[in-house]
Every structure is written in C-alpha cells, then in structure tokens.
Amino acid sequence: MPDIESHAGNFAVLLEPCKNGKFARCSMSGIVTVQVDITDASHDWCDVEDNEHENLTSYGAASARIVHKPSGTGVKWCLVNLAQSHGPAREYRGLINDGGGFLTSDTTTAMDALEAVDGVAIYTELETVYNVFSWSGSDDAEALARYNAETGEWELRMVACA
C-alpha cells in the first residue's frame, strides 16, 4: 500500500492485471488511462493517496497531470500524463523572513512565500530552512530551497546577493 510521504511522484500504473508476486506491464511515464478520485472538479493534477492502490487521487499540485477528465467529482477514468513533475517539486523559491536576516554561522533561517520553481504557489507559511552551505542574507532576499524527502527537512540551496 502506498503512503503519500514516500511514494508521491514515485509510482507506476499497471497496464494489465497482475497477481501478487508476478510481473506485468506498467507505465512510469507518458499518457495512460487510469482511474482518479476527483476530489475537487478544479484539480488538474493527481498522485497516490495513503493506503489506496486502486486509483490515484486529484490534487491542486502533484506529480501527474490530468490531461482529460469527465465533469464532476468521484472516481473517474481519466487520461493522465505520468512523471510530469509539477509537484511534489524538488526546488522552491521564496523570500528570507528571519526578522533581521541571517549569518553564515546560523544553521537555520526562515523562508516564506515558497513556490515551486515553475511559479505555482505551494506554501505560504513560514518554513525553517537548514543553511547547509553557510550562506548569509538579509530579510526579503530571494532564495532557493530544496525539500529533502530522506531527512524531512528544507535545505537552503542559494541566496540572492544584496
């Protein structure tokens, strides 16, 4: 059974029935027909959901783009482009918001207004970001961060010079 924390954007769609322990054809990228639980008619993206293996679930931003879906909500057959990588994005840009900036000796700082590098807003709340490269910066400096799924932490990757 998938869990969204470890399997988001990391899944395949079976193209034929498969018995437990056997092999079957599947797709990890490209356009496939798959059942998606459309939880909101405005959602254009889908991914796995905790403990659900029979269909994908729609989200506002996710790893697979819904190319075509019937109207309404509920479980529907959809055309989905797998591995389009809209989210969970790997890198995010945002603004330093640490109440006075941060120094190279600071191990963490704060960022807000995080959005995926393609411009789609992901987070608006303040996130603690680990200063792995010992950057320094001022408040409202543009910065690039990456979410490390292995550690569950945000890592500061780049800061704009003042």
**Cα distance between residue 156 and residue 136, in whole Å:** 10
Q: Which amino acid is at 93?
A: R
Partners of residue 94 on adjacent β-strands: 143
pLDDT given for residue 157 in this prediction: 81
pLDDT given for residue 34 in this prediction: 96
pLDDT given for residue 105 in this prediction: 84
Asked whether the predicted pLDDT for residue 121 surpasses 60, the reply is no
pLDDT given for residue 87 in this prediction: 46
The tens digit of pLDDT for each residue in 12-71 reads: 899 999 998 899 999 988 899 999 999 999 998 888 888 888 999 998 777 788 999 999
Please name the residues in contact with 22: beta carbons below 8 A apart, sequence gap of 6 or more. none
pLDDT given for residue 86 in this prediction: 47
User: What are the extents of the domains in the chain?
Assistant: 4-82, 91-159
The token duo for 127 is 């996130």
Residue 60 CB-density burial (10 A; 0-12 exposed, 13-18 middle, 19+ buried): middle
